[in-house]
Amino acid sequence: MDKAVEFKVRNFRKGDEVCLAKLFSECFGPTTPRQLSEWLGKSEVAPEDIFVGVVDGKLVSHVNVEFRRLDHGEGIHLKTAGIAGVCTDSDYRRKGIVTNLMKRALESPRQKGVSNASLFTGLDFPAIRIYRRLGFVDIVTWRTYIKYVDYPAVFARWLRVLNRSLKYSKIMARKLEGWEKSVVVRLKEVGALSFRFRRGRFHRLKEPPKHPDIDFYSDMETYARIVHGAVQWDEAVKEEKLTVNHGEPADVEMFKRILLWRWDE
Amino acid sequence: MEVGRITGGVTVRPARKGDAEGMLKVYDSFTRQFVGSAARTVKSFQRMLSGKEKVNWVALDNRGRIIGYVSARLERQMNRGEFREIAVDLEHDFVQVAKPLVEKVQSVLMEKKVSALQTTSIRNPLFEKLFPEFGFFESNTLGIFMYAVLDPRKLLDEISPVFITRLKQLKNWNGLVQIKCEGHSILLHKTIEETRQETWTNQHIDVKVELNEALLTRLIFGIADPIQAVQSGELKIETRLNEETSTRVLRWLFPRKQFLIMDYW
């Protein structure tokens, strides 16, 4: 854990929407205060079930509890405290804030007589270690199934989403500072797709540049599995399912971060 | 209105507002074979049937009764079609009913010019067999559902009806079972007349099982094998019964189950 900071844990208050939208935008992707207000109205989450961490008056962390009923066998549905929206500002991670928030978030349903809690997360998310320490048990992993109908369109949309996310992700912006490179993705089934990252934005290129900084070849399935974290880039290279035609190791490492949206060390 | 069609004895047509009740019946029947599903009402299905982005189709038998449904939606940000759930009445073959539904909804989504189609197996483990047949490929296995016990005494009390239902169905055996977890116990008494929970009794216990919260969680969700847990010493058992009978009682109390959850939070 990094150096501790003084922080407070409190419940959500009206007026927190703007700060919370900024935090959500950084952690989950673009979110507006209006979307948050709509979600609060629709989801039946009470302000007392939303916990925020505050450092020097700044809202830096969030956890909320949504009560559901899950079948525990033979059609018997028990109330569960569904933990959701666990996130911390990238400048305030590894300081014990979210662990504290989680403890409060679990204590509250316990006091209300709820016997259990549950959550969805990613096996590759650092927070999974916190959940296990707090007594959460792995129940089931699941698989995602994809079928691409028009991959060039998916690629273009991915670049647009990256640009929108870049506006909010401080950690991503910091990492990409000064990295001005062009990338050519050659896919067996689709052909060559390319982009250039320049002046803090991803630009789709109609034609692949003559001298790209990164140039690689793979098949659609392997590439998609890498993007979704099911296959490691290095593993695909080793198995000769992906060939790097050109690329400095440091540039390839950065591109892997972009692909996987992984900015933490 | 699109015209319904018959595929292998199953008629499929777009779902209508009035189908909510029939779809709820199918959902209840289908999810009975799993653990984890959320409790739903007619209102849940009325909500599912409203909204421009939704694509819902139902399958009917030759008497016009709903025997299955598929619910998909258009995710605008990524221009992606998402298969959210498929449920089929337990009396019918899942694949036979689901296939024409997926075929139809896939073509409806493609008419809407989606760039990709996606689904996840946590919504239905049977998707693992179904969707690869439609050209979908598995792209990741990184999502995980986790569960924590907040109050073991309360949880034991709440799940006792699950064990009572199971014991009721166990033929040719009557007796007293004690399940002890983290210092708390429930007593389940099965007689010829009835099966009930006892507050206290001075009668001899036929089967006493002792386990920790983590194992109880894994047994509730059907991901641990009680006999293996006995062999590994995780589950302690004291019994006057012979090995064959005690094994039978244990397997009946803690059957292997598949987990499914269609409602994320």
B142 touches chain A (CB under 8 A): yes
A178 touches chain B (CB under 8 A): no
Provide the whole-model pTM.
Answer: 0.89
Question: What is the predicted pLDDT for the residue at A265?
Answer: 61
Question: What is the predicted pLDDT for the residue at B52?
Answer: 87
Which tokens is B224 given? 């641990």
Instruction: Give the class (CATH, top level) of B5-134.
Output: alpha beta
Among the partner-chain residues B122, B131, B150, the one whose CB lies closest to the CB of A140 is: B122
Q: Do A77 and B39 touch (CB under 8 A)?
A: yes
- In the numeric block, the tokens 């001899």 are attached to B204
pLDDT of residue B73 exceeding 90, the answer is yes
Where does B152-212 have alpha helices with state H?
152-169
Question: What is the predicted pLDDT for the residue at A29?
Answer: 82
Burial class of residue B204 (count of CB atoms within 10 Å of its CB; 0-12, 13-18, 19+): exposed
Where do the domains of chain A lie, and which CATH numbers do they carry?
8-133 (3.40.630.30), 151-260 (3.30.1050.10)
H or E segment and range at residue B180: strand B175-181
Q: Averaged over B148-167, what is the pLDDT? A: 97
| B100–chain A nearest CA distance, Å | 18
Do residues B158 and B179 touch, judged by C-beta distance below 8 A?
no
When pLDDT is cut at 50, 70 and 90, the band that residue B8 belongs to is low
Write out A184-199 in H/E/C secondary structure.
EEEECCCEEEEEEEEC
Question: What is the predicted pLDDT for the residue at B1?
Answer: 40
Any idea of the CA torsion for A21, A26, A30, A31, to the nearest 10 degrees? Answer: -20
pLDDT of residue B114 exceeding 90, the answer is yes
What φ, ψ does residue B148 adopt, rounded to 5°? Answer: -130, 145
Do residues B83 and B119 touch, judged by C-beta distance below 8 A?
yes
Highest mean pLDDT among B76-80, B126-130, B200-204: B126-130
Q: Do A139 and B39 touch (CB under 8 A)?
A: no
Best residue in A145, A159, A160, A241 for a mutation probing chain B (most B CBs within 10 Å): A145
A113 touches chain B (CB under 8 A): yes
In CATH, the number for domain B152-257 is: 3.30.1050.10
CA distance B186 to A160: 56
Distance, C-alpha A107 to centroid of its chain: 26
When pLDDT is cut at 50, 70 and 90, the band that residue B3 belongs to is very low
B194-206 per-position pLDDT tens digit: 999 999 888 899 9
State the DSSP string of B225-240: -HHHHHHTTSSEEEES
10-residue averages of pLDDT along chain A (265 residues): 83 93 89 89 88 96 96 95 95 93 96 97 90 96 93 94 87 90 97 96 96 97 88 95 96 93 74
Name the DSSP letter for residue A30. Answer: -
Contact list in A for residue B154 (CB cut-off 8 A) is 113, 115
A243 touches chain B (CB under 8 A): no
CA distance A181 to A165: 19
| A152–chain B nearest CA distance, Å | 9
Among the partner-chain residues B117, B121, B166, the one whose CB lies closest to the CB of A143 is: B121
| B43–chain A nearest CA distance, Å | 14
Q: List every span in chain B annotated with CATH 3.30.1050.10.
A: 152-257
Q: Averaged over B40-62, what is the pLDDT? A: 94
Best residue in B137, B154, B156 for a mutation probing chain A (most A CBs within 10 Å): B137
Tell me whether strands A50-55 and A8-11 are parallel, antiparallel or unpaired: antiparallel
A119 touches chain B (CB under 8 A): yes
A68 touches chain B (CB under 8 A): yes
Q: Which residue of A has its CA nearest to B28?
A: A75
Window 85-124 of B: residues touching A by CB (8 A cutoff) are 110, 113-122
A127 touches chain B (CB under 8 A): no
Burial class of residue A120 (count of CB atoms within 10 Å of its CB; 0-12, 13-18, 19+): middle
Q: Which residue of B has its CA nearest to A71?
A: B36
